[in-house]
Homo-oligomer: A and B are copies of this chain.
Amino acid sequence: MKSKEQVLNQIRNQVLVSCQAYEPNPHATINDMVKMALAGQLAGCKGFRANHPDYVRAIRKAVGEEPVIIGIWKIHTPGNDVYITPTMQAVRELVDAGSDIIALDCTNRVNAYGKYCYDLIPQIKEEYPDIVIMADCSTYEEAKHAAELGADIVASTLSGYTEYTLDRYPLGTDFQLLKDMATIPNVFVLAEGRIWTREEAVTAFESGASACVIGTAITSPWMITDRFVKAVNKHFNR
């Protein structure tokens, strides 16, 4: 098993690829997400993010032991919006599947079980001292709180997706949040969310991120086509 330091050093100043797809995306299969990871690996990518233990396990098997895998488990409960790795059982299964990093919702929202996911942080640290903990946040305050609880990584993943940050969604990647996160001591800042271009990736690093995760822009031919089609439709006033 990699040490926390090894994991963070391996992804520092690197591009990671998030390999996720959901219905009706035709690529919403384990095999397709494994292919995405292999394509990323061939291009020199050193880490991946994947949803569900089965996906983590399959990608681990395909890419080998070296690459860093951020494991998440999106568990949706009707009537509740907190779904990224909301339980300790989810954490355990993701670790067993081969995750080096566990990412979880660290927003200021109660999950379906009446708890804040960030309260899992001390529990994860105790049970898995070598697992890197990544806090998916939507605001600076959430990131600061998660870091205080012991998160190793804070990420901009959820900016634009919580009710109180919806206004930031149309702005794209939340560079201001990255700048603010970079002022929090002793924590690794990771940029994630709506990075579409090379320029945005570079700006994320310039804003203080130490790594950047790119998803849809690489792994969703559906959504990439959609962007082109919409731009051309707009050009023709359709």
Contacts and interface: CB of A to CB of B under 8 A. Distances in A.
Nearest to A42: B222
A220 B94 CA distance: 28
A43 B232 contact: no
Q: How many copies does the complex hold?
A: 2
Interface residues of A, number: 44
A227 B214 CA distance: 12
B43 A225 contact: yes
B32 A35 contact: yes
Contacts of A222: 39-40, 42-43
A145 interface: no
Contacts of A219: 221
A45 interface: yes
Interface stretch (A9-17, A76-84, A133-141): A9-17
A228 to B, nearest CB: 5
Interface stretch (A23-31, A65-73, A154-162): A23-31
A212 B172 CA distance: 27
Given A13-B236, A15-B225, A219-B221, A201 B231 contact: yes
- Chain A contact residues, majority secondary structure: helix
Contacts of A17: 221, 225
B218 A225 contact: yes
Nearest to A29: B35
A162 to B, nearest CB: 27
Interface in A186-238: 197-199, 201-202, 205-206, 212, 214, 217-229, 231-232, 235-236
Nearest to A21: B39
A38 interface: yes
Contacts of A235: 202, 205-206
Closest 3 CB pairs of A and B: A43-B225, A198-B231, A39-B221
22 contacts: A13-B232, A15-B228, A17-B225, A24-B42, A25-B39, A26-B35, A27-B35, A35-B221, A40-B221, A40-B225, A43-B226, A197-B197, A198-B227, A198-B228, A198-B232, A201-B232, A202-B231, A202-B235, A212-B232, A214-B228, A218-B221, A224-B224
Interface of A: 13-15, 17, 24-27, 32, 35-36, 38-40, 42-45, 197-199, 201-202, 205-206, 212, 214, 217-229, 231-232, 235-236
